[in-house]
Amino acid sequence: MNAAALTAVRPEATTQNVTLAKALNLGLREAMAADDKVLLMGEDVGTLGGVFRVTDGLKAEFGADRVVDTPLAESGIVGTAVGLAMRGYRPVVEIQFDGFVYPAYDQIVCQVAKMHTRSHGRVPMPMVIRIPFGGGIGAVEHHSESPEAQFIHTPGLKVVACSNPVDGYWMLQQAIACDDPVIFLEPKRQYHSGKAELDPSADPLPLFATRRVRAGDDVTVISYGPQVKTCLTAAEASAGEDGPSLDVFDLRTLSPFDLEPIFESVRRTGRAVVVHEAHRTLGPGAEVAARITEECFFSLEAPVHRVTGFDTPYPPSRIEHQWLPDLDRVLDAVDRTLAF
Amino acid sequence: MSERALSAVNVPTSRTPSPVRGVPTPTDPDDRGSGGAPMVQLLTPAGTRVHDSEYDLEFTVEELLAFHRDMVLVRRFDTEATALQRHGELGIWAQVLGQEAAQIGAGHALKPQDFVLPTYREHGVAWCRGVDPVNLLGLFRGVDGGDWDPHDHNIALYTIVIGAQVLHACGYAMGMQRDGVVGTGDPDVDAAVLAHFGDGASAQGDVNEAMVFAASFNAPVVFFCQNNQWAISVPTTTQSTVPLYQRSAGFGFPGVRVDGNDVLASYAVTKAALQRARSGEGPMLIEAFTYRMGAHTTTDDPTRYRTAAEVEEWQRRDPIARLESYLRSEDLIDDSWLAELAEEADELGSRLRTACKALPDPDPLSPFGYVHAELPAELAAQRDEYAAYLASFEDAR
Ligand SMILES: Cc1ncc(C[n+]2csc(CCOP(=O)(O)OP(=O)(O)O)c2C)c(N)n1
Ligand SMILES: [Mg+2]
């Protein structure tokens, strides 16, 4: 097939400059084209293309049997997805906003997560539950939450978070191909902000792998999802001011964690800061800090610092940018680990 | 179940059925627009007063004028809030446009001792409960979660998680039972709960569980479902293949469909259902058949999923226009009444604009304020650490 024909059939097969929403859309399209057992379900995912347009055009392309506008009931969506998975399908479920996953929490924790164990592997749950997460979009309550710890704490689930369009494209396809249930977190405030070059012929990193996104020597900075960008900006700012040089990591996978690259870094820097929007107490940072302490105790020059959402409900949007970790708070924590 | 309850389950089918949503029909001024199921109507879309075998009422002039005034003012409030969102003063707004009759009718049927559980679109009901519209705007502006005391107005705060409040309504009604304020026969004591939700919410487990509980405990709760035909982009037919009011039969209590664009019928039916609940006869489901004339919220683009023809069809059934033509035909209002009302609406609009813009941003430490009845020491430490951090910027100036 010549290049033009290839482009005509699969426009996504050429390098494109895409937003996160578009990259996820392309990833879903690839997965659906590759495996007709893959189907999408959720509120407004069909005709509307999702409230963030991540599923835009997919109903027209694959039909209403494979892109299902469901009744408004999250427990219903995930519960029926369990049955579809039993029947050999690979449901990709969209939860409209993070704060609306809780009606499905029982199905996720008691059914999705445990089915493999209970059936001795006879009934796998190859399901992906996509959740737009994180704040910063000026929304009303329940639309800006970071519920990842709830799922990391649940044995039987995989939990990943993408932080950029290229990862979104690959990680989503890898999650769909995974035979275990995957909670797939998408940083909603980045859906339409900023584009990246997506080369579908490139070799992706494996799904359950942490990535160093900027090399540095003084402090290890660890994040995922929407805060990766904050940490990179902080690292650039610090470098620009001849400040400390930051070794920045995008965890990408939160269950299982892939912390070897972090340990290797902390053994060099002796200092670590973990950044996330989720609440502090028992947030992912608590686990990362504990593991760093276990694995790098003799290399540590300072306690692991956390920059997180506070242990309060997410605030009204007019002050969300003060509540959320930002460049200043990250650099402040960096300074404090260095001053320790 | 009482005689009356049973008869309401089998709603008389003498009521005229007409077209299904989304299928515009030739314009017939007396088309009832019931979506094909029997529906209580006291005022046709053309403004003709008709009678219902079960829910008919005589209305005083004061009542009729109050319905009209409230609908006009709430529409103005809604229009103003939409404009404030466009100007960046609100983060988002959920318009009530088109649903004024259902809400003003239901709101007027309440007694002070009744309690209301709203969704996020109950601006008309909140208005009837005496909540200052300014205090509603805070949630949408992003400065608070809605700034009124539910106990002062007997209406809870808005609930955004679809369906959750319907269970609360049932529990509140169970509390009323325990407090001995149901079925005493004293009209100033007997109370009931009005639970609001949408057609989309009717699919939620919480809503269905609430109906199970209400039936089991014969709770004094009226389930008031505004079927505005859409849950964002999803039509009611995806939530229910039978008319929603028929759901109640399976739970064991009566249900009725009312023309939600007819304020007289909405009032009459809600009044009867609340009275029934107050007197101890148990729950009832009202499906107010109406239409969301605006977008789902200011972030939504309804042209992606519904036709202009459908919207036009419903425009013809506008709740305010219909009451106005009736009032005019009865010589109950004239141009000067309308002019005065327009002036009052203008004043409301300008007060809202000013007051909305003056709503201050919360203090950055305020999120810690009400997390617990008593702030735990470790959370206080988190707050203090953050306060010191914020102060370090002040010091650096
Ligand atoms: C549990 C939950 N899931 C999803 C949403 C997102 N959402 C907000 S409004 C809405 C549609 C609600 O439709 P309906 O109940 O008919 O009420 P309407 O908006 O039409 O008044 C959805 C899906 C939510 N708020 N809560
Ligand atoms: Mg609706």
Domain harbouring A281, CATH code: 3.40.50.920
pLDDT, position B33: 60
pLDDT band (50, 70, 90) for residue B11: very low
Residue B183's contacts (CB-CB under 8 Å, 6 or more residues apart) are B190, B278, B279, B280
Both A233 and A300 in one domain: the answer is yes
Quote the pLDDT of residue A23. Answer: 98
Q: Is there a contact between B212 and B204 (Cβ–Cβ < 8 Å)? A: no
A294 occurs within a structural domain: yes
Interface of A with B in 110-139 (CB under 8 A): 138-139
Are residue A28 and residue A91 in the same domain, yes or no?
yes
**A-B interface: how many C-beta pairs under 8 angstroms?**
115
With an 8 Å Cβ cutoff, is B150 touching chain A? no
Do A220 and A270 lie in a common domain?
yes
Q: Is the pLDDT of residue B24 over 70?
A: no
Distance A146 CA to ligand 1 centre (A): 20
Residues of B identified as active-site: 292, 296, 305
The C-alpha atoms of residue B23 and residue A210 are separated, in whole angstroms, by 54
| Residues B9-38, mean pLDDT to the nearest whole number | 48
Chain A CB contacts of B145 under 8 Å are: 141, 316
Residues 6+ apart with CB under 8 A from A217: A245, A247, A268, A269
Please list the residues that pair with A183 across neighbouring strands. Answer: A129, A159
For position B17, what pLDDT does the model report? Answer: 47
Q: What is the pLDDT of residue B26?
A: 37
What is the Cα–Cα distance from B242 to B306, expressed in whole angstroms? Answer: 21
Q: Which two tokens stand for residue B100?
A: 């004024």
Low-confidence ranges of chain A (pLDDT < 70): 1-13
Tally Cβ neighbours within 10 Å of residue A154.
19
pLDDT at residue B10, rounded to an integer: 36
Q: Domain residues for A254?
A: 211-339
Interface confidence (ipTM) of the complex: 0.94
Three-state DSSP class for residue A303 = coil
Q: Are residues A194 and A265 in the same domain?
A: no
Which residues from chain B sit within 8 angstroms of residue A315, using beta carbons?
A: 362, 366-367
- Which of A198, A231, A248 delimits the end of a domain? A198
Same domain flag for A113 and A161: yes
> Under DSSP, is residue A326 helix (H, G, I), strand (E, B) or coil?
coil
Please give the pLDDT value at position B241. 95
Q: Can you spell out the DSSP letters for B280-298?
A: T---EEEEEE----S-SST
Name residues whose C-beta falls within 8 Å of residue B194's C-beta, 6 or more positions apart in sequence.
B106, B110, B114, B115, B116, B117, B125, B169, B221, B222, B224, B270, B274
Tokens of A284: 């992912």
pLDDT at residue B395, as a whole number? 77
**Pairwise CB contact (< 8 Å): A72 & B204:** yes
Tell if the CB–CB gap between A69 and B231 is shorter than 8 Å.
Answer: no
Query: Residue B14 above 70 pLDDT?
Result: no
Q: What is the mean pLDDT of residues B203-211?
A: 98
pLDDT tens column, B55-83: 999 999 999 999 999 999 999 999 999 99
Chain B window 228-287: which residues touch A at a Cβ cutoff of 8 Å? Answer: 231-234, 238-239
Do the beta carbons of residue B208 and residue A76 sit within 8 Å? no
User: Contacts for B56-59 with beta carbons within 8 Å, 24 or more apart?
Assistant: B56/B268, B57/B264, B57/B267, B57/B268, B57/B271, B59/B264
Shared-domain flag, residues A231 and A312: yes
Q: CB contact, 8 Å: B142 with chain A?
A: yes
Percent residues over pLDDT 90 in chain B:
90
User: Does residue B198 line the site of ligand 1, with CB under 6 A?
Assistant: yes
A182 shares its domain with A307? no
Based on the domain organization, do A126 and A32 belong to the same domain? yes
The verdict on residue A204 lying in a domain is: no
pTM of the model: 0.94
B5 and B253 Cβ atoms separated by less than 8 Å: yes
Q: How far apart are CA B159 and CA B121, in angstroms?
A: 9
Closest listed residue to residue A176, CA positions, set A267, A51, A92: A92
Report the pLDDT value the prediction gives residue B73, as an integer from 0 to 100: 98
Is A206 within a domain? Answer: no
* Cβ-based neighbour number of residue A101 at 10 Å: 22
Which residues lie below 8 Å from residue A18, measured CB to CB, with a gap of 6+?
Answer: A26, A165, A169, A195, A196, A198
Flag whether pLDDT at B32 surpasses 70.
no
Q: Is the backbone peptide bond immediately before A256 cis, with ω within 30 degrees of 0? A: yes
Fold (topology level) of B21-358: Rossmann fold (3.40.50)
What's the pLDDT score for residue A10? Answer: 53
Q: Which residues in chain B have their CB less than 8 angstroms from residue A44's CB?
A: 232-234
Statement: residue B7 has pLDDT above 50: no
Q: What is the DSSP string of B344-392?
A: HHHHHHHHHHHHHHHPPPPPTTGGGTTSSSS--HHHHHHHHHHHHHHHH
The pLDDT value recorded for residue B255 is 98
Task: Using the predicted structure, report yes or no on whether residue B310 has a pLDDT greater than 90.
Answer: yes
Single-letter amino acid code for the residue at B105? G
What are A84-101's pLDDT values in tens digits?
A: 999 999 999 999 999 999
Q: Which atom of ligand 1 is nearest to the CA of B202?
A: 15
A41 contacts A68 by C-beta, under 8 angstroms: yes
Within-domain flag for A76: yes
Q: Are residues A181 and A283 in the same domain?
A: no
Q: Are strands B230-231 and B234-235 parallel, antiparallel or unpaired?
A: antiparallel
Helix (H, G, I), strand (E, B) or coil at A262: helix
End-of-domain residue from the set A175, A198, A221:
A198
Q: Which residues pair with A249 in a beta bridge?
A: A212, A222
CB contact under 8 A, B233 and A44: yes
Residue B215: pLDDT band by 50, 70, 90 thresholds? very high
Q: How many domains does chain A have?
A: 2
| 8 Å CB contact between A3 and A149 | no
Residues in A 268-297 with any Cβ partner in B closer than 8 A: 280
B200 touches chain A (CB under 8 A): yes
A193 plus A331 within the same structural domain: no
| Whether residue A283 sits in one domain with residue A164 | no
SS3 state of residue B49: strand
A152 and A230 assigned to the same domain: no
Distance between CA atoms of residues B347 and B130, nearest Å: 17
Cα–Cα distance measured from residue A160 to residue A174, given in angstroms and rounded to the nearest whole number? 11
Instruction: Report percent pLDDT > 70 for chain A.
Output: 96
Alpha helix ranges (H) inside chain B: 3-9, 61-86, 100-109, 123-128, 133-141, 150-153, 164-178, 205-217, 236-239, 247-251, 263-278, 308-315, 319-329, 335-358, 377-396
